[in-house]
Amino acid sequence: MKATEITLVFWTLIVIPVMFIIILSETNKTKSNIMIMLHNKKNYLLLIVFYSLMQYVTLLCFKYTLVGYSLAIFQLSSIVSVIMGYRYFNEKGIKKKLLCSVIMILGAVLILK
């Protein structure tokens, strides 16, 4: 097993159980949370798969590229996050958030030079 896969396994084995502990820790809602989880097994399985895939791709990115380039790519994703937040969650202040994303991207570009 390579270091990337070992890191992924430990990262996933630690974070996913903690996520479920947090979901079930609300004592007044534990029974309803368990019922929700049982009725949405497919969604929770997809959450685990996509979370693990995200972690794996992040580790590969850091393994095969310089940290500066990885940071620049990550900062570009902030624009996508802002637009999706505006589109799907009706977040306010889109201009300010896009401006902040552009400033972060400019900072990443400065790191690359």
Task: Give tens-digit pLDDT for 102-112.
Answer: 888 888 777 77
pLDDT at 29: 67
Q: What is the pTM of this model?
A: 0.50
Can you read off the two tokens belonging to residue 42? 């497919």
Given this model, what pLDDT does residue 54 score? 81
Q: Tokens 């900072």, residue?
A: 107
Task: Say what the pLDDT of residue 32 is.
Answer: 72
Structure-block tokens of residue 22:
């947090």
Whose CA is closest to 73, among 34, 112, 20?
A: 112
Residue 89, burial from CB neighbour count under 10 angstroms (0-12, 13-18, 19+): exposed
- pLDDT tens for each residue of 10-36: 777 787 788 777 777 765 666 676 777
How far apart CA 113 and CA 105 sit, in angstroms, is 13
> Crossing angle, helix 30-39 and helix 41-64, to 10 degrees?
80
Q: Which residue's structure tokens are 């084995």?
A: 13
pLDDT, residue 28, reads: 66
43-63 pLDDT tens trace:
878 877 887 888 788 778 777
Cα–Cα distance between 31 and 24 in angstroms, integer? 8
- For residue 1, pLDDT over 80 is answered with no
- 54-104 pLDDT, tens digit per residue, is 878 877 877 787 777 777 777 777 888 888 888 888 888 889 988 988 888
Token code pair at residue 27: 């004592």
CB-CB contact of 8 with 59 (8 Å)? yes
